[in-house]
């Protein structure tokens, strides 16, 4: 696969202006990235900017804490899909996972997957806040709920993706779902290593630095 198609070109900062989002979309088209990843208020704007290209619109749900009610996350997802999102990156309820309420975590993911219909669902587990055992349990919930990806991080917590976490996620899920590494991938060396370890997608705001034009 073309290296640029591993990248979700990301801008999720609270102060992101429409001009900055327009630039994100222009870069995504120029570099032929897989998607732009934005907050839900920017979905329709991105769809218009990306018209005529094959760059997807990805959005985040329950971001960045994951502590909203399941009903709120489902409604947010339904609204995002209605507005034209191609992919959804949701944050799990980390507290419920730590409470070992795996039924809650699995049911929430399943309900959001149902709201996505045939669109791609990536599930952010915020690895920096979890033990290895909790990371494995989170993956088991994701597999049971039949989501499409496990994603390492929001990029807004104490750390982003690590090589160790991507290797652990790959060992746990195998080929049963895909893996997105996000947060802190800023060098070409790290980018290549994440892919070697099993990442199928890279979420980064540094995509233009990682990929040479036309590569």
Residues designated as active site: 89, 151, 180
Cα torsion through 106, 152, 202, 88, rounded to 10? 30
User: What are the CA-CA distances from residue 31 to residues 3, 76, 89, 139, 212 (Å)?
Assistant: 10, 30, 22, 32, 8
Distance, in Å, from the CA atom of 113 to the CA atom of 19, rounded to the nearest integer, reads: 32
Helix (H) or strand (E) holding 212: none
Partners of 35 in the beta sheet? 8, 56
H or E stretch covering 182: strand 178-182
Strand (E) or helix (H) holding 153 = none
């Amino acid at each position: 696969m073309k290296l640029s198609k591993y990248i979700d070109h990301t801008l999720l900062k609270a102060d992101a202006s429409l001009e900055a989002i327009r630039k994100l979309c222009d870069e995504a088209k120029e570099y032929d990235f897989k998607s732009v990843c934005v907050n839900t208020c920017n979905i329709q704007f991105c769809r218009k900017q990306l018209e005529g290209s094959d760059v997807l619109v990805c959005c985040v749900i329950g971001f960045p804490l994951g502590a909203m009610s399941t009903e709120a996350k489902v409604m947010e997802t339904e609204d995002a899909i209605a507005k034209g999102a191609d992919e959804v990156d949701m944050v799990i309820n980390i507290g419920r996972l730590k409470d070992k309420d795996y039924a809650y975590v699995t049911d929430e993911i399943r309900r959001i997957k149902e709201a996505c219909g045939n669109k791609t669902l990536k599930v952010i587990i915020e690895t920096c806040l979890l033990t290895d055992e909790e990371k494995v349990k989170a993956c088991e919930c994701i597999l049971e709920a039949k989501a499409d990806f496990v994603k390492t991080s929001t990029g807004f917590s104490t750390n982003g993706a690590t090589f160790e976490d991507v290797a652990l996620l790959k060992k746990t899920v195998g080929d049963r779902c895909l893996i997105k590494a996000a947060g802190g991938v800023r060098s070409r060396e790290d980018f290549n290593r994440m892919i070697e370890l099993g990442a199928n997608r890279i979420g980064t705001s540094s995509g233009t630095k990682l990929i040479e034009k036309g590569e």
